[in-house]
Amino acid sequence: MTWQSPIAPGLSWYQASVGERPDYPALDGSVSVDVAIIGGGYTGLQAAFNLAKAGVSVVLIEAHRFGDGASGRNGGQLGTGQRAWPGELEAELGFERSKALFALAENAKHYLLDFARQHEIDIEFIPGQLNVAHKPGWEADYRRDAEIMAERYGYPHISFMDRGETQERLGSTRYHYGVRDTGTGHIHPLKLLVGLASTAAAAGARIHEMTPAKAIRQAGGKTLIDTPTGTITADRVLIATNAYIGNLEPVTAAHVMPIRSFIGATVPLDKFPSVISGSEAVADSRFVVRYFRKSRDGRLLFGGREAYTSDSPRDISTHIRRQIAEIYPELEGIEMVNAWGGSVGITLPRKPFAREVMPGVTSIGGFSGHGVMLSNYSGKLYADSILGQGQELDLFKELKIPAFPGGARFRSPLLFLALTWYALRDRL
């Protein structure tokens, strides 16, 4: 029977295309380890892999199945840099730190692609990304940003696209101009996750599905994690639950909020060769960003709708189909084979959250929709920090991430109002 994630709606096309995945047994009983990891997405599994490879005894527990969180259900776009554009980071943090954060993201990109290559994981990488403007008026900014990237950040792969080029590459007249980034691309996220889990297990990490952490406590200089069948005792703990933290740990929960995002997959677009003829990933300039791309077998994978409450929309396909038709009228009524959602972990300033939340317990998440490459690399950087091999994670730890206002009770309604206002502005 096909597995349906209990924490996210819909069967994803990724699941359908991967088919049966290996099962990993639930943890049975109590164990003592050097490092325990809670959460089996990219962040947790990369940390487990890198620690096990170095000979550290590590156990990872995942409440459901690997890939049920954002890592198995996302848009697959790698992007470049941080979620915030370098100019914005530079104004806030100064040039040196902004440049260091850009370099970290480039390291993340190379790390991910090298990791897949080395471990022969077919992640279906397709190069290229287009960032396109849904409104006129910011053309000079787009041009300048492309120049800044080349001149100040030494990244020569971004070029400005005028209206003609934008519309030609997209096969749509709905966007005005944009930039093309030939130094990045998009991947099949679940294939990466499945390959990563088996690579971590082969390196000696003990990884367990269907094992929720129920509580985290501290005693005698150790951290104890209660599970349904026992207790994990560890010197160090990584909380890698991101948007799915729930009530497990209050500091993470106060700083990382879940937002639901939804994606639909169409049948292959063989009859519509002009739709993204270069097969790049596309992200637009809306606050509720529309992100779309073609899979290796030519389907349109279109993400766009967001929800700020835990309710799932009744018919994800209908909403996604409507958004597709706004951009590609010729695809009106196109058959959707899968539609699904997942929770993106966001922070207030849309920058990653990495913090010691209790002695010896680090929490990492809040990549704010830009986590495919950053979460993989953050897991590796966490391992490096345990092994005393690098300080790059400190760049994230030093970022000022305030808690969401309103406390546990009111932050969702407040955020709902704020985000609904921004979403409304997209439509005006």
Ligand X SMILES: Cc1cc2nc3c(=O)[nH]c(=O)nc-3n(C[C@H](O)[C@H](O)[C@H](O)COP(=O)(O)OP(=O)(O)OC[C@H]3O[C@@H](n4cnc5c(N)ncnc54)[C@H](O)[C@@H]3O)c2cc1C
Return left, alpha or beta for 120; rule: phi > 0 is left, psi -120 to 50 is alpha, else beta. Answer: left
Residues in 61-100 at the binding interface with ligand X, rule: CB under 6 A = 61-64, 68-71, 73-77, 79
User: 22 or 55: whose CB is closer to ligand X?
Assistant: 22
User: 84 or 344: whose CB is closer to ligand X?
Assistant: 344
CA 73 to chain centre: 9
Binding test (CB under 6 A) with ligand X, winner from 15, 21, 31, 44: 44
Q: Indicate whether 185 belongs to the interface with ligand X (CB under 6 A).
A: no
Site map 233..262 versus ligand X, x via CB under 6 A: -------xxxxx---x------------x-
| Residue nearest ligand X (C-beta atom) | 371
Q: Indicate whether 39 belongs to the interface with ligand X (CB under 6 A).
A: yes
Site map 325..344 versus ligand X, x via CB under 6 A: -----------------xxx
Residue 157 has phi, psi (to 5 degrees) of -90, 0
Region binding ligand X by CB under 6 A among candidate stretches 47-55, 134-142, 177-185, 362-370: 362-370
Report the residue count for the chain.
428
Q: Indicate whether 304 belongs to the interface with ligand X (CB under 6 A).
A: no
Distance CA(354)–CA(342), nearest Å, equals 21
User: 161 or 248: whose CB is closer to ligand X?
Assistant: 248
Least Å from the CB of residue 360 to ligand X: 18
Three-state SS letters, 85-110 = CHHHHHHHHCHHHHHHHHHHHHHHHH
Q: Indicate whether 10 belongs to the interface with ligand X (CB under 6 A).
A: no
Tokens, residue 42: 């990219």
User: 41 or 128: whose CB is closer to ligand X?
Assistant: 41
Least Å from the CB of residue 40 to ligand X: 5
Kind and range of the H or E element at 395? helix 394-397
Q: Indicate whether 263 belongs to the interface with ligand X (CB under 6 A).
A: yes
Region binding ligand X by CB under 6 A among candidate stretches 49-57, 111-119, 364-372, 407-415: 364-372
Residue 114 has phi, psi (to 5 degrees) of -65, -40
Q: Which residues pair with 216 in a beta bridge?
A: 225
Region binding ligand X by CB under 6 A among candidate stretches 39-47, 116-124, 141-149, 388-396: 39-47
Place of tokens 């030093």: 398
Distance CA(344)–CA(94), nearest Å, equals 28
Q: CA nearest 50: which of 111, 113, 100?
A: 111
Q: CA nearest 212: which of 229, 193, 189?
A: 229
User: 274 or 279: whose CB is closer to ligand X?
Assistant: 279
Report the alpha-carbon angle 400-363-393, nearest 5. 65
Least Å from the CB of residue 14 to ligand X: 11
Binding test (CB under 6 A) with ligand X, winner from 212, 268, 278, 360: 212
Contacts with ligand X by CB under 6 A: the residue count is: 44
Distance CA(30)–CA(53), nearest Å, equals 23
Residue 175 has phi, psi (to 5 degrees) of -115, 155
Least Å from the CB of residue 250 to ligand X: 13
Least Å from the CB of residue 147 to ligand X: 25
User: 38 or 334: whose CB is closer to ligand X?
Assistant: 38
Q: Which residues pair with 224 in a beta bridge?
A: 217, 233
User: 230 or 274: whose CB is closer to ligand X?
Assistant: 230
Q: Which residues pair with 129 in a beta bridge?
A: 181, 281
Least Å from the CB of residue 372 to ligand X: 3
Strand, helix or coil for residue 418: helix
Binding test (CB under 6 A) with ligand X, winner from 33, 35, 37, 38: 38
Tokens, residue 355: 């913090």
DSSP E strands in 209-287: the ranges are 215-219, 222-227, 230-239, 257-268, 281-284
Q: Indicate whether 371 belongs to the interface with ligand X (CB under 6 A).
A: yes
Q: Indicate whether 303 belongs to the interface with ligand X (CB under 6 A).
A: yes
Report the alpha-carbon angle 386-389-392, nearest 5. 90
Distance CA(49)–CA(199), nearest Å, equals 7
Least Å from the CB of residue 365 to ligand X: 5
Q: Which residues pair with 246 in a beta bridge?
A: none
User: 240 or 331: whose CB is closer to ligand X?
Assistant: 240
CA 184 to chain centre: 15
Q: Note the residues at the interface with ligand X (CB under 6 A).
A: 7, 38-44, 61-64, 68-71, 73-77, 79, 212-213, 240-244, 248, 261, 263, 291, 303, 342-344, 365, 367, 369-372, 375
